[in-house]
Amino acid sequence: MIFQWLYILGFNFFWSIDHRIVVDQNGQGDFTAIQPAIDFALQRPDIHEIYIHEGIYTEKLFIDSLLSNLTFKGSSKDEVTIRYTQSRDIWRCSHPDDYGAAVINVKGRDLKFLNLTVINDFGSTISGDTTIYCPNAFSPSADNGSKEHLNKKVAKDSHQFAFRSFPGATRIVWENCSFISDGGDTVSPWDVQNGLYYMKNCTVSGHVDAWCPRGYALAENCVFYGKNKHALVWHDGVADKNSKSVMKNCRFEGDVDFALGRYHKDCQLYFFECTFGESMADKPIYKAGNGTLLHGHRIFFKNCKKEGRQYDWYANNTDISGDQVTFEFVFGDKWTLNDN
C-alpha cells in the first residue's frame, strides 16, 4: 500500500527503477487486485511487468488494445489462480461482442502470461442445461412480443472461455500456465489475419475445441485434456495459406473416447513427437460443417505414439523432423523471440 500512497503524493520513483508493479491480496504490494494494476499500467507505458503474489483472484480481466509489452507473472501457477464464472451465451444476451465473455479478455499485443492458473467454472455452478431470458435470442420470424421466443438454452458445457483474445492481440506468450474451463473454447486466441501465439509448458483442459487458435501457433511441452468425447483441438488458418498450429512434444489426454481434433475452414495442424493417451478415440481429425476448402485436408504427424491400442491414422506423413520445428519454422520472419 505504501507504493500507492507515494504515487498519490506524486512520487513514482520505485516504478521508474524496476518497471513493475506488485499485486498482493494481503496489502503488501501496490494493489490488492489485478484489474486495478492493469488500469494503472495503461496510464504508465514504462510499466513492463505486473507481478502477482499467491492467492485466488476472483475477477475478470480486461486488457485494453493500448496495452503492449507487458508481462503478467505469477509467483507460481500452483499459488496464483484467477477464477471467474462466465458463460459466453449468457454474456452475449446483453452485450454485442465477446469482450467480457472470458476470464481474461485481451485486445493488447506483445503480452506474456507466466505462472498462472486461469479457471472458468460456469459449468460447475449448474446441475444441467438451463434456459434464460435473452432479448438477443429474438427471431424476426417469431411471433411479436412472445416471450417464449426470447428464451435461450444455455448448455452446461457451452462456450466458456478462460482466455479470449481479439484481432490486434498478437505476439502472445503463455508459459507455465494452466487454463481450465467446464465448457468449450477454453483458450481462444482469435486473430486469423495476424495472430502469432506461443505456448510452452502449459495445461489446457476443457470441452470441445479447448485449444483453438486462429493464425499461427506453436505449443511445446504442453498437456491438453478433453472433458468429453468432442474434438480437443481446432485451428482456423483461412486467412493465410501458410498459417499453422503446431504441437511439439505435447500430451493429449481426456475422458474415454475423446476425439483429437477437427476444423471448419482451411487449416494446418502439425503434431511432432506427441503422445496420445489410451482413452483417445479411433477417430481421425475431421472437417466439420459444409464450408469449401481451398487447400485440402492438411493434417500432419511425425513420430507420435499412443498408449494402449494403436491406430494407423497418426502414422508419419511428413518429411519434416521434430528437430526442424523451431520458432522460425512456425513463424518465419513474422516474429522472433526477441520481439517480445
> pLDDT-based confidence at 149, cuts 50/70/90?
low
The torsion region of residue 19 among left (phi > 0), alpha (psi -120 to 50) and beta comes to left
In sequence order, the 6+-apart residues with CB closer than 8 A to the CB of 248 are: 218, 219, 220, 221, 272, 273, 274, 322, 325
Task: Produce one character per residue of 258-285: b if its CB has 16 or more CB atoms within 10 Å, e if not.
Answer: bbbbbbbbbbbbbbbbbbbbebbbebeb
Which residue bears the cell 457451452? Answer: 158
From residue 165, alpha-carbon distances to 97, 103, 111, 295, 318 in Å are: 12, 11, 11, 26, 31
Candidates 39, 36, 41; CA nearest to 15 is 41
Segment 307-321 mean pLDDT? 98
Segment 104-133 mean pLDDT? 97
Q: Is the pLDDT of residue 338 over 80?
A: no
Determine the pLDDT at residue 167.
99
pLDDT tens digits along 286-300:
999 999 999 999 999
CATH of domain 19-123+157-339: 2.160.20.10
> pLDDT-based confidence at 305, cuts 50/70/90?
very high
For residue 87, the SS3 value is coil
For residue 259, the SS3 value is strand
Kindly report whether the global pTM for this prediction surpasses the value 0.75.
Answer: yes
Q: Is the pLDDT of residue 340 over 60?
A: no
Domain layout of the chain by residue ranges: 19-123+157-339
For residue 185, the SS3 value is coil
Candidates 46, 53, 50, 19; CA nearest to 37 is 50
Determine the pLDDT at residue 7.
45
Segment 323-330 mean pLDDT? 96
pLDDT tens digits along 156-211:
999 999 999 999 999 999 999 999 999 999 999 999 999 999 999 999 999 999 99
Angstrom distance (rounded) from CA 155 to CA 185: 14
For residue 120, the SS3 value is strand
Instruction: Using CB atoms within 10 Å of the CB of residue 333, give its burial: 0 to 12 exposed, 13 to 18 middle, 19+ buried.
Output: exposed
- List the strands of the sheet with 49-52, edge to edge: 20-23, 49-52, 68-74, 109-114, 172-175, 196-200, 216-220, 245-248, 269-272, 299-302
pLDDT tens digits along 52-86:
999 999 999 999 999 999 999 999 999 999 999 99
8 A C-beta contact, residue 205 and residue 225? yes
Angstrom distance (rounded) from CA 52 to CA 63: 16
Determine the pLDDT at residue 148.
57
pLDDT tens digits along 2-52:
444 444 444 344 444 579 999 999 999 999 999 999 999 999 999 999 999
